[in-house]
Amino acid sequence: MKVFLWNGIFGVAFILAFNPVCADHWVYQDSERSPSQKTALIIMNGFGGSKSACKAQFAFWKEQGMDVFIPEVLLRPSLESSSVAMEEFIAEYGITEYAEVRSICYIAGAFLLHTYLESHALPNLRYVIYDRSPIQERAPQAVMTAIPVLGTWMKGKVLKDLSEAVWPAPIVSPSVITGLAIENRATGLMRWLQDEAEALGPFEFDWKKIDSNASDAFHVALDHDMMYTRWDILGAPFLHFFAHGVFPEGVSRERLTDHPFDKHQPIPE
């Protein structure tokens, strides 16, 4: 049984309580052109989609020649109601009318996009970049094992639902090109929950085993929270992928460290 130290409990509470997900949709649209002449970028955030994270995403991506959508659809009374909110968002903003749709998906956001695609057509979807983390993807289960009451209080029943959910099948379509950005650093939360995360089995960092359908991948020495804000590092390879269907030559296709829980590993400047 995990030994709970008060400073650990309050540390996790601080991380969860002061990292609230965006309360409203973030939307940028070029009003001078019709959707049929434009590309839409949908950023599907997960639990790390705080206001500051959305602000950083929005600031970078609205300058890249696309209409930008960051839907707030995750924190609902249940995972099912989150999926309904996703359907309503796609319909409200006429996403199916765009010439092309691209998406950046964080962990829980990918669940909602895949759930949507199981029952709805999105034929204009062309590119999807997934933020993948062998460690952070275990957060819902680890939190519900170690601190279920606190986790549910902070993030709601949707966290419990996600910890128990059967994940939808990945996108497999010749018209959709998918890529992976793989985190190689654990967050403070996951360092505290390292035992619970490791109890779920070995971590897989081989990108071809993570998703054999992906066209390309790269590893980055960032943790999950940084993946929302470090567009000085992520912006160029993401844009290259959207333009060419692969990441640039200079990024690493191999795991960067054997010690992802080491908080002293260098953070890219």
What residue spans define the domains of the chain?
6-244
pLDDT digits (tens, 9 = 90+) for 45-75: 998 888 999 999 999 999 999 999 999 988 7
For 96-138, write each residue's pLDDT tens digit: 999 999 999 999 999 999 999 999 999 999 999 999 999 999 9
The dihedral over CA atoms of 22, 25, 26, 31, expressed in degrees to the nearest 10, equals: -170
Nearest CA-CA partner of 238 in 130, 133, 122, 134: 130
| 172-176, 205-209, 213-217: the lowest-pLDDT one | 172-176
Residue type, 219: H
Partners of 50 in the β-ladder: 21
To the question of pTM greater than 0.85 for the whole model, the response is yes
pLDDT in tens, 165-192: 888 888 889 999 999 999 999 999 999 9
Order of strands across the sheet with 26-28? 26-28, 67-70, 39-44, 100-105, 125-132, 177-183, 216-220
The span from the CA of 216 to the CA of 142, in Å, is 29
For residue range 21-51, list pLDDT tens digits in order. Answer: 455 899 999 999 999 999 999 999 998 888 9
Residue 26, C-beta contacts closer than 8 angstroms, at least 6 positions apart:
54, 57, 58, 68, 69, 70, 72
**Residue 197 reports pLDDT greater than 50:** yes
Please tell me the predicted confidence (pLDDT) of residue 153. 87
- Token output for 77: 């009374």
The residues near 190 (Cβ < 8 Å, ≥ 6 apart) are: 135, 136, 138, 139, 142, 197, 223, 224, 261
pLDDT bracket for residue 10 (50, 70, 90): very low
Q: Using CA atoms, how far apart are residues 46 and 28, in angstroms rounded to an integer?
A: 20
CB atoms within 10 A of CB 118: 10
What is the pLDDT at residue 23?
Answer: 55
List the CATH code of the domain at 6-244.
3.40.50.1820
